[in-house]
Amino acid sequence: MPWRLLTDLSNFIDTWLIGYSALLGPIAGIMLCDYLVIRRTRLHCDDLYNTQGQYAGFRWKTVLILVVSIAPNLPGFINAATHSHYFPAVFDQIYSYAWFVGIVIAFVLYWIMNIGEQQDANSS
């Protein structure tokens, strides 16, 4: 609905863009940590496309890290989306930095949860 942007741009910025960044920040944090810290910028390209390769499967702990990284931004998003204050104002401040909060939390949690894999990757 582009006509809504012309009437109220703050809805677009406060709700959609920051809300979207609250999802993308944790995803970026997980990807950056995995590539830069855990795998030390070394990927086995053939295994990326192999269903039996080292990257195959589903990792529930990564999904858990994603959910935990999004959670601090959720109360601020609810406040922004509903134009009310169901949650304290501190969550609005956290939400205004949603991408940075999400990327830092996800990066650190992913690093902590994969310390053993980091040592295994370095030995090979």
Return the pLDDT at 88.
94
Return the pLDDT at 84.
87
Residue 34 counted as domain residue:
yes
Residue 67 counted as domain residue:
yes
Residue 4 counted as domain residue:
no
Residue 5 counted as domain residue:
no
Range of the domain at 86: 10-123
pLDDT by residue for the chain (124 residues), tens only, comes to 666 666 777 777 778 889 999 999 999 999 999 999 999 899 899 998 999 988 888 899 999 999 999 999 999 999 988 888 899 999 999 999 999 999 999 999 999 999 887 655 555 5
Domains contained in the chain, number: 1
Residue 2 counted as domain residue:
no
Residue 35 counted as domain residue:
yes
Q: What is the pTM of this model?
A: 0.84
**Residue 46 burial (10 A CB sphere; 0-12, 13-18, 19+):** exposed
Residue 1 counted as domain residue:
no
Give the pair of three-digit tokens for residue 51.
Answer: 């269903």
